């Protein structure tokens, strides 16, 4: 009997920045808004089922849209009510997820701007394809 295998690939059409900072999420978003002229606004927490069969873990989330249909920015806490959004990156405190199109030059400027904020210890680009639990970032 012939067997056919279905290969499923997740569409990872977003950019990801890991941010390390000792500040609370609301305070850090305020500084990012102030220094980079963005306008992050708190939206509903991201609910992720980390372990199958258990209650979902909640992660703080902020959003900024440039224009309808343009680039969407999401500022997400890595530490939730009971665990990490990306367990393989426990030292990252937050993630900046950028959906839709963003020019490489603009992205480099954003990354450079984040690293200039004194309260941010480090902000680095992460390749989403190399993250094991990347499904947690799909919403």
- Residue ranges in the chain assigned as alpha helix (H): 25-36, 104-116
Query: Residue 13: what pLDDT?
Result: 76
pTM of the model: 0.85
Query: Residue 83: what pLDDT?
Result: 85
Query: Hey, is 79 helix, strand or coil?
Result: strand
Domain extent listing, the chain? 14-133
Query: Hey, is 14 helix, strand or coil?
Result: strand
User: 119 and 19 in contact (C-beta within 8 Å)?
Assistant: no
Query: Which CATH number does 14-133 carry?
Result: 3.30.310
Please state the length of the chain.
Answer: 139
Query: Residue 71: what pLDDT?
Result: 85
pLDDT in tens, the chain (139 residues): 677 666 555 556 788 999 999 999 999 999 999 999 999 999 999 888 877 777 888 999 999 987 766 888 999 999 987 888 988 999 999 999 998 877 889 889 999 999 999 999 999 999 888 888 878 788 7
In the chain, the N- to C-terminal Cα span, in Å, equals 38
Residue in 120, 135, 139, 132 with CA at minimum distance from that of residue 17: 120
């Amino acid at each position: 009997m012939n067997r056919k295998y279905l290969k499923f690939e997740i569409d990872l059409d977003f950019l990801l920045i890991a941010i390390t900072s000792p500040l609370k999420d609301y305070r850090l978003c305020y500084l990012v808004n102030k220094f980079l002229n963005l306008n992050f606004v708190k939206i509903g927490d991201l609910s992720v089922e980390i372990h199958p069969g258990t209650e979902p873990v909640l992660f703080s989330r902020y959003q900024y849209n440039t224009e309808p249909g343009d680039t969407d920015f999401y500022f997400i806490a890595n530490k939730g009510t009971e665990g990490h959004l990306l367990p393989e990156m426990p030292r990252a405190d937050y993630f900046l997820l950028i959906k839709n199109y963003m020019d490489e030059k603009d992205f480099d400027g954003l990354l450079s701007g984040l690293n200039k904020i004194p309260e941010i210890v480090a902000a680095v680009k992460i390749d989403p394809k190399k993250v094991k639990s990347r499904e947690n970032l799909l919403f």
